[in-house]
Amino acid sequence: MRWPNRFRALLLISGFFLAPAARAQSQADEIGILPTTLSDEQLQSLSQLSPVATPEPPQPRARRRLPRAPLLLSPEELSYRDAVQKLGVDKHRFVHCELHNGKVRTGVITEIRDDGFSLKDGIIISQWIPFIDLKAAPRPVPAVGTRIGQGFKWTGLVAGCIAAIPLVVVLYPLVLTGVLAD
């Protein structure tokens, strides 16, 4: 009973390649001669149309922004903001941030606003840190271990994807045909 399942899997895989090619072919009677110029009747009917007959689409109104309340930061928080703006110029510089809750974050500053900044502390994950939550001003660090660790994470992610692609290409049609049970 294994031969029919293998045969179905082979048929399904070949169908993935042959079906799009077969559907791409058009029948001869479906393709007609396309007009390249307008006839006299068509030109007269176009000239009879007036520009008033076609209504113009309404223009969207510009949205008004409400005025923002001024952000009140303490002098200490203003110094944190200045330090973050100086450190955020270099997109590859790692910074060390100490927070009031005792956590320490090391990462790259990706976005700076008036009320806080975004710190990318993983290969994908970013965290929003308000200036109010800082315990001390962020300081630059070499973060050699962090760079190596993130490099290993990226390498593992790429290697996993490379290993998974052939498995998915081979196993997915087998699952669809029922050779492999879910």
How do residues 58-69 score in pLDDT, each as one tens digit? 677 777 777 776
In this prediction the pTM is: 0.50
pLDDT of residue 1: 44
pLDDT reported for residue 125 = 83
pLDDT at site 121: 82
Residue 105: exposure state from Cβ atoms within 10 A (0-12, 13-18, ≥19): middle
As a whole number, the mean pLDDT across the chain is: 79
Answer whether residue 2 is part of any domain.
no
Q: At 130, which helix (H) or strand (E)?
A: strand 126-130
pLDDT of 114 reads 85
Domain count, the chain: 2
- Would you give the distance in Å from CA 162 to the centre of its chain? 20
Is the per-residue pLDDT at 84 higher than 80? yes
Q: What share of the chain is helix, strand, coil (3-state, %, to 5)?
A: 45, 15, 40
Distance CA 13, CA 6 (A): 11
pLDDT the model gives residue 63: 77
169 shares a domain with 149: yes
Is 31 within the bounds of a domain?
no
Same-domain pairing of 97 and 150: no
Specify whether 160 is located in the same domain as 121. Answer: no
- Work out the average pLDDT over 73-91: 85
Q: What is the DSSP letter of 83?
A: H
Compute the average pLDDT of residues 41-68: 68
> Residue 116 CB: number of other CB atoms within 10 A?
19
115 and 161 within one domain:
no
14 residue type, one letter: S
124, part of any domain: yes
Q: Which of 98, 180, 171, 101 is nearest to 141 (CA)?
A: 98
Which residues form the domain of 159?
145-182
